[in-house]
């Protein structure tokens, strides 16, 4: 059976080394030490993560002590003292073996034996010494570097035998302070030669200090006992309190002794016998009580190749292939592989194997059965408690919101530590529990001294010691400032994993939609573990599917009613995992709060009525209960909430703000709901008094509005749900509607303004002037929402209630005092009605109304006042839109003739004058009677644009209107204006560059509905200009980057915007890239477009609207178009077979698309023809064939192909006199579509109302 291949992940558990010791013992065996390294290599491969990112660790970084004999001693020195990797050691081992054993003193066996008798050795030990010295120099060390080191991380000990007495001794790279041990001073090469000086093979080695040594294997070929003795000696001095965590012993093969009859053979046999004790020693050690204890606890591992190596002699250095084969066969065995993996795990976490009998004072238990590991906490706890070495106690604080998982993390630590120390659990949630457990703890510790772990759970009073608490003060007070963690809710991945783990498979569908529902549910639960467990319990209790429960929970007005079933873990005996609920958990905190700080409860009531996040701390100070408090007194009120982790404080730009967990916030509201009127009314009064009135596009109060809007929406929503009404409500709803209208949330603004007006009519029916203010806001909202028909009703009511009083300027020279004048409100109402009628295309009514609005000043010197000019302009506008452009032109011309007074100054402001010019230009261009001058009309549009961009810039919506007027005119009739592409490009570059200018930042007026609409129109024009390839290639990347800046800085990323960006930009970009021959990049863009489209489609009924995707048919056709673009991009990379496979995978969609845009094979043939035509055209130019307009000539006959190929391969080059040109066409650059095809495609797309491109890249 093959060996297991899985490996533990990661070479080390934490930043520090483990507390327990890791020991490596290496047998002697001549060249067969090569097998030792192969085995060690396999173990370290199992230590290394499989992600391929982390390097294999070095043995010196893993083991605390490496002990070796003979060849094992050499390996120990290379790995531990020279810090070599295993691979480096393998290479050097082969090299050294060849040098030493490849140069015997005599070359034939008989000669070797007689030479040995005469000289005492088969091989020259000087060669070994020289090889070690050369190795040191190669590694940048001194050839005579000392073996001893100061405080080495990895200790190395090699076994030697004293030549005279045959007494076993050791040489260390560290100083032993045990009174029985001698420390020898020698060089690295001396230590290596001393441990390897096997009798018959090498002569003895004499150190410079006079000691004479031979191979340590003479007496201790397996040095396991020496290694264990050394650990015991050093545990008294240097390794105090550090137990053995993992011991690895590696042999060099089971020895075999053959019968030898002659006297020379007897001599050889006596030498070979030095190896026969290795397994005997191993068996004896494993049979000892200490060895059994280590083996049972997975702290001792013995590896040795049982068959094959015994036939090899100590000096057969050429047999590495045989050694490799026998060793690999051994490692491939299942039991060996299992031991390798277990050994690797023990090396990774040696502390885990330390057995300590657990003497439980209270029921220790374990985490709940469905515990989800949260490595961010468990790893820190494990490192803190396991790697610690010292005499002082350890204190660590876990603090956080109730239900966030503190107790479960403590239970997990207790379960992990229980095999090492006694675990004592004290319940500190109630005083009687604490007293009982504390008394038992004191008695226990008196009778059971030793290591222990004390966990104090739910200690929330300063008089108690705690480990898990809701009070953050204990970190830095009871525990050290750095010894603690704030336990926060899980992340989305952990939360979903926990939820799915708790729910039976039969209540899960397992599809993508359910996965989205699960993510939505845990988000609503604020990723709180206990709340997630309760949700799962309710799913099981109600026997509904996860999707059904998630949908119901989203709509539930009382979230805690939906969590009424508590969570039960009946598979554990631990009472801490029995019945649990978030409501019960927080009830304890609230009850304590009511007893200790009533004002904190009041503050919590107000917080419950506001949004759970971004609550300005200064806002809370304004409530009447806290207004008279000093800063310190208010801080104490707030601190009590923070001490129970009910509220978190943070700062944004040095502005203190508060937040609550959404589920805690919901629970606070549930308790406040018993008497909510006072809190809600207080919030209405305060917010209504400070919420700014958004007056116009130059208003700079939008930042304060943005902070307060979510809180105002929350208060309004709560009041509506409880059917509460007060006189403080209409005012806040009125200003909130104005803000929402300005920021583009017009549908909610309409609802808010309607309810505000209705409520105002209830409270103040006899104040028409006040009511008209509310009515005006409602009209503004309905107008912005394009609900003109509905707005007319309120406009008429407004006009009827406005007095027909004289204007302030009624007494002017030459005017008739008997002519009534419209009041300001009346005029404003009729102007609004005029605009609504115009939008409803009721132009005749609009024109009549505009005449009514004209001031009665004809025949006087005040006939052409600003009001008169504007009114006449409006009348002309209505005539033009009503199809009466000839009459409109007469009025506009009259207005422009009189727009300046006798002094030459304008009688209207500059903005109104530019509006007059815009209408004049539109009449010239689109008058419909054929008498207009298109060049003059375009010139006027350009004049307006140039002035707008220079004066008001891109922060003004009129600048965007002016830009749109120019580029739209050029797009409608490109052939009429020779420089249309250059002019459009200039405007796009100017506008986009201005958006990205240094210091440009988003202002409130950029978020108005009007501003947003015209920016989006501009983007439509830009995308069309870009798609048709009219942007210079050198500018394309920069303009796309600028477009993204515009999207991020000026355009609200809400509703349709995000999806238009996903669908339109990615797809348009892909088409452009295909046109330019960059098919691989195009494929990425098209796939991104498809991903966004599918995500939008998966939203179902909740998805935001997207222009052009108004039905299932629209959606299916867009999907087909996107598939077609992906298929073309694949094929144009030379991957035609992949493209065909893609077509087969999406057969249904692509069958439709190919009927519209052409079969794949036909498009590829067209591409090939484009390439050939481009090459032929360039050749003709080289031959002097100048293009002509002859319809029968070659150039006109191939015009379509040339249009496409020039975009792909570049403009055809006309050679200069005497210039030689070579035409090279790269087959990989074949991509394009003709301009004619694009225009035809655009026409078809408009018919289908698709925001897509039909594969024309």
Q: In 354-403, which residue ranges form alpha helices assigned H by DSSP? A: 375-386
pLDDT greater than 70 at residue 1098: yes
Among the candidates 316, 351, 386, a domain finishes at 351
Summarised one tens digit per residue, pLDDT across range 1195-1249 is: 777 766 776 676 667 656 666 555 444 443 333 333 333 333 334 434 443 443 3
Same-domain status, 363 and 437: yes
pLDDT greater than 60 at residue 758: yes
Q: Using a pLDDT cut of 90, give the percent of the chain over it.
A: 14
SS3 track for 48-78: CCCCCCCCCCCHHHHCCEEEEECHHHHHHHH
Q: How far apart are CA 90 and CA 618, in angstroms?
A: 70
Same-domain status, 116 and 229: yes
Positive or negative: CA dihedral 904, 905, 909, 910? positive
pLDDT at residue number 776: 86
pLDDT greater than 90 at residue 68: yes
Q: Which domain holds residue 175?
A: 21-351
pLDDT at residue number 433: 53
| Largest interatomic CA distance in the chain | 152
What distance lies between CA 451 and its chain's CA centroid?
A: 42
| Mean per-residue pLDDT, 764-774 | 86
Nearest to 464 by CA among 477, 480, 451: 477
Q: How far apart are CA 931 and CA 920, in angstroms?
A: 13
Domain for residue 121, yes or no?
yes
| Mean per-residue pLDDT, 1156-1164 | 87
What angle, rounded to 10 degrees, do the helices at 980-995 and 934-951 form? 20
* Residue 691: partners with Cβ closer than 8 Å, 6 or more residues away: 704, 705, 708, 712, 732, 735, 736, 739
Domain for residue 519, yes or no?
yes
Summarised one tens digit per residue, pLDDT across range 241-298 is: 678 889 999 998 776 544 433 444 444 444 444 444 678 888 888 888 778 878 888 8
Phi and psi at residue 1107, in whole multiples of 5°?
-55, 135
Q: Which residues of 881-908 are buried (b: 16+ CB within 10 A; e: fewer)?
A: bbebbeebbebbeebbeebeeeeeeebb
**Contact (CB, 8 A) for 502 and 370:** yes
pLDDT at residue number 262: 41
Same-domain status, 111 and 40: yes
pLDDT at residue number 529: 72
pLDDT bracket for residue 62 (50, 70, 90):
very high
pLDDT bracket for residue 1040 (50, 70, 90):
confident
Domain for residue 1216, yes or no?
no
The CATH code of the domain that includes 437 is: 3.40.50.300
Active-site residues, by number, are 70, 215
The CATH code of the domain that includes 74 is: 3.40.1090.10
Sequence-ordered strand ranges (E) for 632-790: 648-652, 655-659
Same-domain status, 477 and 501: no
**Contact (CB, 8 A) for 1149 and 1116:** yes
Q: How far apart are CA 542 and CA 540, in angstroms?
A: 6
pLDDT at residue number 473: 62
Same-domain status, 470 and 500: no
For residues 570, 574, 576, 579, the Cα torsion angle rounded to the nearest 10 degrees is: 20
Residue 906 in tokens:
């304008």
Per DSSP, 544 falls in state -
Same-domain status, 97 and 173: yes
Give me the residues paired with residue 90 across strands: none
- The strands making up 615-616's β-sheet, listed across from edge to edge, are 615-616, 655-659, 648-652
- Of residues 902 and 700, the one with the higher pLDDT is 902
Q: How far apart are CA 396 and CA 466, in angstroms?
A: 9
Domain for residue 255, yes or no?
yes
Prediction pTM value = 0.45
Q: How far apart are CA 1145 and CA 889, in angstroms?
A: 60
SS3 of residue 352 by DSSP: helix
Domain for residue 1019, yes or no?
no
| Mean per-residue pLDDT, 633-644 | 83
Q: Residue 195: left if φ>0, alpha if ψ -120 to 50, beta else—which one?
A: alpha
Same-domain status, 479 and 602: no
For residues 819, 822, 824, 829, the Cα torsion angle rounded to the nearest 10 degrees is: -170
The CATH code of the domain that includes 627 is: 1.10.10
Domain for residue 1056, yes or no?
no
Q: How far apart are CA 635 and CA 657, in angstroms?
A: 13
* Residue 796: partners with Cβ closer than 8 Å, 6 or more residues away: 833
SS3 of residue 675 by DSSP: coil
Nearest to 104 by CA among 85, 127, 81, 70: 127
Same-domain status, 481 and 502: no
Summarised one tens digit per residue, pLDDT across range 912-969 is: 889 889 888 888 886 544 455 788 888 999 999 999 999 888 888 889 899 989 988 8
Least confident of 139-148, 668-677, 695-704: 695-704
Among the candidates 300, 328, 351, a domain finishes at 351
Summarised one tens digit per residue, pLDDT across range 959-975 is: 989 998 998 888 777 77
Same-domain status, 370 and 318: no
pLDDT at residue number 4: 43
Same-domain status, 179 and 158: yes
Same-domain status, 70 and 167: yes
- Of residues 463 and 757, the one with the higher pLDDT is 757
Q: How far apart are CA 886 and CA 856, in angstroms?
A: 25
Summarised one tens digit per residue, pLDDT across range 811-840 is: 333 333 333 445 566 767 777 787 778 767
CA geometry: angle 896, 897, 901, nearest 5 deg: 100
Summarised one tens digit per residue, pLDDT across range 866-881 is: 877 887 887 787 777 7
pLDDT at residue number 36: 92
- Of residues 268 and 56, the one with the higher pLDDT is 56
* Strand 484-486 to 397-399 pairing: parallel
Among the candidates 436, 453, 486, a domain finishes at 486
| Mean per-residue pLDDT, 1185-1198 | 73
pLDDT bracket for residue 563 (50, 70, 90):
low
Q: In 332-459, which residue ranges form alpha helices assigned H by DSSP? A: 334-348, 375-386, 406-417, 431-447
Domain for residue 1163, yes or no?
no
CA distances from 639 to 57, 319, 487, 611 (A): 49, 77, 19, 20
Same-domain status, 216 and 257: yes
pLDDT bracket for residue 1118 (50, 70, 90):
confident
pLDDT at residue number 435: 53
Domain for residue 129, yes or no?
yes
Least confident of 649-663, 1066-1080, 1097-1111, 1232-1246: 1232-1246
Domain count, the chain: 4
pLDDT at residue number 1017: 74
**Contact (CB, 8 A) for 974 and 961:** no
| Mean per-residue pLDDT, 533-553 | 71
Average pLDDT of the residues of the chain: 73
- Of residues 1174 and 267, the one with the higher pLDDT is 1174
SS3 of residue 1168 by DSSP: helix
pLDDT at residue number 789: 82
């Amino acid at each position: 059976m093959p060996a297991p291949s899985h490996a533990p992940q990661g070479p080390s558990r934490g930043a520090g080394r483990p507390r327990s010791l890791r020991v490596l013992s290496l047998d002697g065996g001549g060249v067969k030490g090569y097998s030792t390294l192969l085995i060690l290599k396999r173990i370290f491969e199992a230590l290394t993560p499989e992600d391929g990112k982390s390097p294999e660790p070095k043995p010196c970084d893993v083991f605390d002590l490496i002990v070796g004999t003979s060849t094992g001693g050499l390996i120990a020195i290379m790995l531990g003292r020279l810090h070599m990797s295993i691979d480096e050691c393998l290479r050097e081992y082969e090299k050294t073996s060849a040098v030493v054993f490849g140069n015997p003193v005599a070359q034939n066996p008989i000669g070797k034996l007689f030479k040995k008798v005469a000289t005492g050795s088969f091989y020259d030990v000087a060669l070994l010494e020289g090889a070690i010295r050369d190795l040191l120099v190669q590694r940048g060390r001194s050839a005579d570097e000392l073996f001893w080191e100061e405080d080495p991380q990895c200790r190395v000990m090699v076994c030697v035998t004293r030549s005279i007495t045959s007494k076993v001794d050791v040489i260390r790279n560290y100083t032993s302070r045990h009174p029985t041990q001698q420390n020898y001073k020698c060089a690295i090469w001396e230590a290596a030669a001393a441990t390897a000086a096997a009798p018959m093979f090498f002569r003895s080695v004499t150190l410079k200090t006079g000691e004479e040594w031979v191979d340590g294997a003479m007496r201790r070929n397996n040095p396991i006992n020496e290694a264990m003795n050394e650990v015991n000696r050093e545990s008294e001095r240097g390794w105090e309190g550090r137990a053995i965590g993992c011991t690895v012993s590696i042999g060099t093969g089971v020895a075999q002794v053959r019968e030898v009859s002659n006297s020379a053979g007897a001599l050889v046999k006596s030498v070979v016998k030095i190896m026969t004790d290795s397994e005997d020693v191993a068996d004896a050690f494993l049979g000892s009580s200490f060895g059994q204890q280590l083996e049972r606890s997975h702290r001792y591992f013995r590896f040795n190749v049982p068959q094959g190596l015994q036939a090899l002699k100590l000096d057969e250095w050429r047999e590495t292939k045989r050694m490799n084969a026998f060793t690999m066969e051994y490692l491939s065995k299942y039991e060996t592989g299992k031991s390798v993996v277990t050994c690797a795990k023990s090396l990774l976490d040696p502390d885990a194997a330390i057995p300590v009998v657990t003497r439980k004072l209270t029921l220790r238990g374990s985490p709940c059965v469905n515990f989800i590991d949260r490595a961010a906490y468990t790893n820190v706890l494990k490192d803190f408690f396991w790697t610690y070495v010292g005499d002082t106690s350890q204190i660590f604080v876990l603090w956080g919101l109730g239900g966030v998982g503190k107790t479960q993390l403590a239970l997990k630590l207790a379960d992990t530590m229980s095999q090492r120390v006694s675990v004592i659990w004290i319940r500190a949630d109630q005083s009687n529990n604490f007293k009982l457990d504390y008394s038992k703890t004191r008695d226990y510790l008196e009778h059971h001294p030793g290591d222990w772990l004390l966990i104090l759970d739910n200690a929330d009073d300063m008089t108690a010691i705690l480990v898990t608490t809701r009070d953050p003060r204990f970190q830095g007070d009871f525990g050290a400032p750095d010894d603690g963690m704030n336990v926060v809710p899980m992340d989305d991945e952990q939360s979903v994993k926990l939820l799915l783990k708790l729910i039976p498979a039969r209540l899960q569908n397992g599809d993508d939609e359910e996965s989205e529902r699960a993510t939505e549910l845990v988000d609503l639960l604020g990723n709180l573990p206990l709340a997630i467990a309760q949700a799962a319990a309710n799913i099981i209790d109600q026997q509904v599917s996860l999707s059904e429960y998630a949908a119901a929970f989203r709509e539930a007005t009382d979230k805690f009613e939906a969590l009424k079933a508590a969570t039960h873990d009946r598979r554990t005996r631990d009472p801490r995992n029995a019945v649990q609920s978030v409501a019960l958990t927080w009830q304890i905190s609230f009850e304590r709060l009511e007893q200790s700080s009533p004002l904190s409860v009041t503050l919590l009531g107000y917080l419950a009525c506001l949004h759970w996040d971004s609550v300005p701390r200064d806002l809370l100070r304004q409530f009447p209960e806290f207004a008279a408090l000093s800063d310190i007194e208010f801080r104490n009120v707030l601190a009590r909430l923070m001490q129970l982790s009910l509220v978190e404080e943070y700062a944004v730009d040095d502005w203190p703000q508060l937040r609550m967990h959404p589920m805690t916030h919901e629970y606070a509201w549930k308790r406040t709901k018993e008497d909510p009127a006072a809190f809600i009314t207080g919030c209405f009064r305060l917010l209504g008094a400070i919420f700014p009135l958004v007056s116009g596009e130059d208003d700079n109060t939008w930042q304060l509005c943005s902070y307060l809007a979510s809180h105002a929406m929350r208060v309004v929503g709560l009041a509506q749900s409880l059917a509460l009404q007060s006189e403080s409500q209409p005012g806040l709803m009125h200003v909130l509607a104005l803000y929402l209208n300005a920021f583009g949330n017009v549908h909610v603004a309409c609802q808010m303004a309607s309810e505000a007006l209705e409520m105002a009519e209830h409270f103040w029916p006899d104040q028409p002037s006040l009511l008209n203010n509310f009515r005006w806001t409602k009209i503004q909202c309905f107008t912005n929402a394009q609900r003109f028909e509905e707005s007319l009703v309120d406009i008429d009511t407004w006009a009827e209630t406005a007095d027909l009083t004289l204007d302030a300027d009624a007494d002017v020279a030459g005017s008739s005092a008997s002519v009534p004048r419209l009041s300001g409100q009346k005029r404003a109402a009729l102007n609004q009605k005029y605009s609504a009628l115009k939008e409803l295309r009721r132009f005749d009514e609009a024109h009549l109304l505009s005449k009514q609005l004209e001031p009665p000043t004809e025949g006087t010197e005040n006939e052409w006042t600003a009001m008169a000019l504007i009114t006449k302009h409006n009348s002309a506008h209505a005539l033009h839109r009503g199809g009466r452009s000839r009459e409109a032109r007469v009025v506009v011309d009259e207005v422009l003739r009189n727009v300046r007074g006798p002094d030459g100054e304008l009688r209207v402001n500059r903005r109104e004058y530019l509006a007059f010019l815009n209408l004049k230009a539109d009449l010239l261009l689109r008058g419909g009677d054929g008498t207009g001058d298109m060049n003059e009309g375009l010139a006027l549009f350009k004049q307006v644009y140039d002035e707008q961009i220079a004066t008001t810039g891109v922060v003004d919506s009129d600048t965007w209107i002016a830009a749109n007027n120019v580029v739209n005119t050029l797009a409608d009739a490109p052939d009429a204006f020779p420089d249309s592409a250059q002019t459009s490009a200039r405007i796009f570059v100017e506008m986009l560059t201005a958006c990205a200018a240094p210091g440009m930042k988003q202002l409130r007026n950029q978020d108005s509905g009007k501003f947003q609409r015209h920016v989006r129109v501009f983007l439509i024009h830009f995308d069309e200009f870009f798609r048709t390839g009219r942007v210079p290639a050198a500018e394309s990347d920069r303009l796309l980057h600028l477009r993204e800046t515009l999207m991020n800085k000026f355009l609200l990323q809400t509703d349709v915007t995000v999806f238009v960006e996903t669908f339109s930009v990615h797809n348009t970009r892909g088409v452009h890239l295909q046109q330019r021959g960059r098919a691989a990049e195009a494929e990425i863009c098209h796939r991104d477009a498809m991903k966004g489209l599918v995500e939008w489609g998966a939203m179902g009924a909740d998805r935001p609207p997207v222009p052009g995707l108004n039905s299932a048919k629209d959606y299916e056709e867009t999907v087909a178009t996107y598939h077609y673009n992906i298929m073309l991009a694949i094929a144009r990379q030379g991957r035609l077979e992949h493209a065909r496979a893609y077509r087969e995978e999406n057969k249904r969609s692509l069958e439709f698309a190919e009927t519209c845009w052409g079969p794949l094979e036909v498009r590829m043939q067209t591409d090939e023809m484009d390439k050939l035509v481009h090459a032929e055209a360039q050749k003709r130019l080289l031959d002097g064939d100048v293009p002509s307009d002859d319809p029968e000539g070659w150039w006109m006959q191939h015009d379509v192909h040339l249009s496409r190929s020039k975009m792909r391969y570049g403009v055809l080059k006309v050679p200069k006199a005497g210039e030689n040109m070579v035409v090279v066409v790269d087959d990989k650059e074949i991509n394009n579509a003709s301009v004619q095809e694009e225009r035809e495609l655009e026409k078809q797309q408009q018919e289908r109302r698709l925001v897509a491109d039909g594969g024309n890249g």
